[in-house]
Amino acid sequence: MSVQVQTARGNLVVEPSESGFGARVTGVDLSRPLDGETPAAVKAAFARHGVISFPDQPLNLDALEAFTLQIGAFGEDPFIKPMEGRPNVLELRREPDEKATNFGAGWHADWSFQAQPPAATILRAEVVPPLGGDTLFADCAAAYEALSETMKAVLAPLRAVHSAARPYGTKGVFARETEKRTMQIITSPEAEKTQVHPLVRTHPVTGRKALFVSPVYTVGIEGMTEKEAGAILGFLFAHMTQPQFVYRHKWVKGTLLMWDNRCTIHFAEGGYDGHLRVMHRTTVAGETPV
């Protein structure tokens, strides 16, 4: 059921997906500063639905940065060179002749290896190919709630080990890459550092608990052997990404999408070889997971 919020500039309408995970927000112009009740309404929809899309938002980069700052301070984006003169904007660009794997092709929550991972990621579609390129999101709160009470008790004290080594380390996926890539990826020994977070984290706004692990960045569980951790993590990765927990976003030019890295993981599909795809991305700083 859609929800309408009266604002100074009209009605803001929130249309949730059937499951309630993911929603479409209309009746707001993000190219202008949000006023009155609008910022609170946007943040409430974001907290409730985890992934929210805003169609038909013809934003320039100044407006994209300004909207981001109305949600929160900029997060830090390591290992990818930002746009020239725009230290807080990444251009996710793939040219028609590129053969390298599309960026983001693995389930992850953005930068979970940081001490304070980003709360949100904001992505706007500038050039959308005629096929492929969907982004899939998994609801890690619903996945946690579907577990048995016994499994929840097992997971409660565990702390997961996160690292950027697999994609960005000196021997990682990008370091071994041989195909041309337009995006400038920075591989570094810094990526091989580790950070420990609760395996189950509590959302600071909603209070819901969510699984906070992903196949790309979670490399172990503190105090466990590799095989022990692998058994638990393998089960959780398969559990989290079951169809009942997944929302599929189909991109349209001019759409702005915002997702909550504290309770979701996502996967960028390919399937658009031979076509240009351009997206602009910012992140919103987060807090220490608890």
Q: Out of 24, 124, 162, 266, which one is annotated catalytic?
A: 266
Q: Out of 49, 93, 94, 108, which one is annotated catalytic?
A: 108
Provide the pLDDT for residue 1. Answer: 72
Is 239 annotated in the active site?
A: no
Q: Out of 77, 110, 139, 260, which one is annotated catalytic?
A: 110
Is 266 annotated in the active site?
A: yes
Q: Out of 94, 124, 166, 281, which one is annotated catalytic?
A: 281
Cα within 13 Å of Cα(274), Cβ side = 4
Is 24 annotated in the active site?
A: no
Cα–Cα distance, 99 to 78 (Å, whole number):
24
Is 139 annotated in the active site?
A: no
- For 130-142, write each residue's pLDDT tens digit: 999 999 999 999 9
Can you list the residues of the chain whose pLDDT is less than 70? 6-9
Domains in the chain, CATH or no CATH each? 3-284 (3.60.130.10)
DSSP string over the chain: --EEEEETTEEEEEEE-TTSSSEEEES--TTS---TTHHHHHHHHHHHHSEEEE-S----HHHHHHHHHHH-PBPP--SB--BTTBTT-EEEEE-TT--SPPTT-S-B-TTTTSSS--SEEEEEEEE--SS---EEEEEHHHHHHTS-HHHHHHHTT-EEEEESHHHHSTTSTTTT--S--SS-B---GGGG-EEEEESEEE-TTT--EEE---TTTEEEETTS-HHHHHHHHHHHHHHHTSGGGEEEE---TT-EEEEETTTEEEEE----TTS-EEEEEEEE------
- For 125-169, write each residue's pLDDT tens digit: 999 999 999 999 999 999 999 999 999 999 999 999 999 999 999
